[in-house]
Structure 1
Amino acid sequence: MRVLVIDDSAFMRKMITRMIEETRGLEVVGQARNGREGVELAEKLKPDLITLDIEMPELDGLGALRQIRVRCRKEDPAVLMCSSLTTEGSAEALKALRLGAADVIAKDPALVGKNDDGFRNELITKLKTIGTSRSQRRRAGAAPTEPGQPIARADAPPPKDIDLAGVDAVLIGSSTGGPPVLEDILAPLPAGLRVPVFVAQHMPAVFTKTLASRLDQHCANGARLITEPTMIERPGIYVAEGGRHLHLENVRGGIRAEMRTEPADALYRPSVNVLFSTGAKAFRGRVLGIQLTGMGDDGAKGAADLRRAGGRVIAQHESTCVVYGMPKAVVESGQADGVMTPSQIAGVLTGLCGPAGSRRSSEEFRKSA
């Protein structure tokens, strides 16, 4: 796969290029030192993949991304945004995902300069994953995506009816390409959510903080970040902090959410498996699990635990996934009760909302737990 590297730092261009060139199956075909030059090279070289810095002179990463999405629409290169580990950088990265970037990677020049294996492995894994997904979509004849829109929606099979009568909580697992989908399914929900919604999104802590803030701004039901032990006393949207795992427990008839480091060997933090498994136990199986786009199979084991406890699981439809890895693992293991597009999932969740007067009081919520 052919890669274009766009970064205003000569050092970062050199290091990223070296890491890519040392990898079989990846080839750097060009380098650009600012967004304007990057757009021109993207048109000329027609790469399969682009690494795109956010903060650059002349034309920043978001501006370059907008132009690439329009001017290179036929080739539809997959774009990996490179963001600093700052609140401002994470906010811009989430905007980039909404504009059509496939994924984001946090870059720390100090670690990159040390040839950090963690950064190298994440960079190569992300490039190969989004590149392979792009190739598969093109072979399948999927239309290029419109700028500012999620992956094009093919006709999905009619979703199975999901019984919401026994649902006391919603558990959502998400990874590559997930933040815009989370907005697509949670922002349309009317006020009056009757159950808590817990989200495990594979991202560093500073990114999940920004994600929770963005959801809070765009969702009628609000959202908050879980960073410390919290008793869940009312419905709402709760986002797990990155870097640790969200454990849910039934404590004396109430639900406690707590961020923990174990299991230490889990590849992704927060782990979807942990959220699904602990949530199913805490709510005694009265849960709805939703597996969104992402690489790997995190969530498949947890989905099995959830269904054994009596819960139900929805997997995102392949045609709308940036990477059809996590939902595929759930579907192929036979743990999906329904396969739906984001708009269909939003429609299901709307059934868990009602007029403000129908929202359960804190006391009623605690009793249901």
Structure 2
Amino acid sequence: MPLIRTVIVDDSAFVRKAVRDMLSRSPKIDVVGAARNGEEALQMVEQLQPDVVTCDLFMPDLDGVGFVRKQMMRKPVPILILTASPKDAVRVIEALESGAVDFIQKPTALANDDLLAMREALIEKVQGVAAVASPPIVLPVPAVSFAQPSRPAVHVDIVVLGISTGGPQALRYLIPQFAADFPVPFVIVLHMPLGYTAPFAEKLAEISRLSVKEAHEGCLVQPGEALLAPAGRHLSFKKNSQGQVVVHLSVQPMDKPHRPSVDVLFQSAAETFHQRVLGVVMTGMGDDGKQGAAWIKAQGGTVLTQDEQSCVIYGMPRSVAEAGLSDAAVPLASMAAEISKRL
């Protein structure tokens, strides 16, 4: 199997060396070059034709967002953004909107245990994005709704959606297609590090007619609103003293690889809304959502998966489809209409 040819882009010599050392621990990765800024990186990518690029955000001459934009216009390549802090969230989101595949925290002078975990995560991300058949297409935000006109929901009381790598781009395309009077609540788990879900929800709200916000403990689950689970907390449902369904946030269960977990969201939706749940599993690495989809199906609900051709990484949807839990595989371009049709 060919090695994953990787180029590192960072103006810090320390970070370039740290990332090279980390990636060199994998027998599957070959670091073929290192650039100090976006302009150097454009030339290096053209010369070396890497499979993956890791890229800093803030650099002289041409920064990370500028590099992503220019490289995507030249020749799309999977780009993994390295970020120093959640304070950079707005710029990270701009890089994702411009075509970067994913992002991860960059190495700093941390304790050995933190560096070990970071190394493993970095290697996993590089190997994952290298499997991308083609980098995410930067889809324009739809100017009009492609979904069916809103009507009272007949079959569904809630839509729950799980998504990971490639998720920010897909959600920017999907969510703006729904009308402000969408007839049921929409609750989303997007795998993101701490500090990034609130800024992403704000950016998504700017282009959507639905009310979009990061969920908080006790907030009502109501039609016309899309809630994004906050990073670091599982999102489930409970009823308040008035009998209304509200959000409950918790670090439990601790044995899930992701927090928030799509499985936890889906299971709670199935236990709360029974057969009147529409689950949607979209682009992402791993199999989060498979167990949750089984809960939805066991209660008589419906599960849609994004089709392989339109996924950045066909991991989560594949796990659901191969388990026989998907009612339909749907292209991203048709997902809004399909969701509306199933209500």
TM over 0.5: yes
SS at match of 2:180: coil
2:197 corresponds to 1:208: yes
The aligned residue for residue 323 of structure 1 is 313
Q: Distance in 2 between matches of 1:24 and 1:127?
A: 12
Aligned residues: 328
1:58-207 paired onto structure 2 within 5 Å: 58-71=61-74, 73=75, 76-87=76-87, 89-107=88-106, 109-111=108-110, 116-131=115-130, 133-134=131-132, 137=133, 148-149=138-139, 165-207=154-196
Is the CA contact (8 Å cut-off) linking 1:277 and 1:302 kept in structure 2? yes
* CA shift digits 1:188-209 (9 cap, x unpaired): 1122111110000111131111
Is the CA contact (8 Å cut-off) linking 1:195 and 1:352 kept in structure 2? no
- The Cα shift of 1:110 comes to 3.5
Is the CA contact (8 Å cut-off) linking 1:193 and 1:352 kept in structure 2? no
* CA shift digits 1:52-89 (9 cap, x unpaired): 11111110111111222222x2xx431111123224x2
Q: Distance in 1 between matches of 2:85 and 2:107?
A: 7
Question: Which runs of 5 or more structure 2 residues have no equivalent in the other structure?
Answer: 141-152
Is the CA contact (8 Å cut-off) linking 2:82 and 2:103 kept in structure 1? yes
The aligned residue for residue 304 of structure 1 is 294
Q: TM (normalized to structure 1)?
A: 0.84
SS at match of 1:247: strand
The aligned residue for residue 356 of structure 1 is none
Q: 2:264 aligns with which of 259, 274, 285?
A: 274
* CA shift digits 1:225-244 (9 cap, x unpaired): 11323232553100000011
Q: Distance in 2 between matches of 1:351 and 1:222?
A: 21
What amino acid does structure 2 have at the position aligned with 1:331? A
2:47 corresponds to 1:44: yes
2:20 corresponds to 1:31: no
Is the CA contact (8 Å cut-off) linking 1:5 and 1:30 kept in structure 2? yes
Is the CA contact (8 Å cut-off) linking 1:54 and 1:81 kept in structure 2? yes
- The Cα shift of 1:117 comes to 1.7
1:247-286 paired onto structure 2 within 5 Å: 247-251=236-240, 253-286=243-276
2:55 corresponds to 1:56: no
The aligned residue for residue 339 of structure 1 is 329
CA RMSD of aligned residues (A): 2.1
Is the CA contact (8 Å cut-off) linking 1:15 and 1:112 kept in structure 2? no
Identity across matched positions, percent: 35
Q: Distance in 1 between matches of 2:184 and 2:281?
A: 18
- The Cα shift of 1:338 comes to 0.8
Return closer, same or farther for 1:352/1:166 CA change in 2, 3 Å cut-off.
closer
Q: Distance in 2 between matches of 1:115 and 1:238?
A: 31
- The Cα shift of 1:347 comes to 1.0
SS at match of 2:287: coil
What amino acid does structure 2 have at the position aligned with 1:267? P
Return closer, same or farther for 1:26/1:108 CA change in 2, 3 Å cut-off.
closer
Return closer, same or farther for 1:43/1:286 CA change in 2, 3 Å cut-off.
same
Is the CA contact (8 Å cut-off) linking 1:196 and 1:234 kept in structure 2? yes
* CA shift digits 1:268-310 (9 cap, x unpaired): 1110000000011111221100001010101000000011111
Q: Distance in 2 between matches of 1:11 and 1:195?
A: 50
The aligned residue for residue 146 of structure 2 is none
What amino acid does structure 2 have at the position aligned with 1:273? D
The aligned residue for residue 16 of structure 2 is 13
* CA shift digits 1:134-186 (9 cap, x unpaired): 3xx3xxxxxx5686349xxxxxxxxxxxxx62101000001111111112111
Is the CA contact (8 Å cut-off) linking 1:197 and 1:236 kept in structure 2? yes
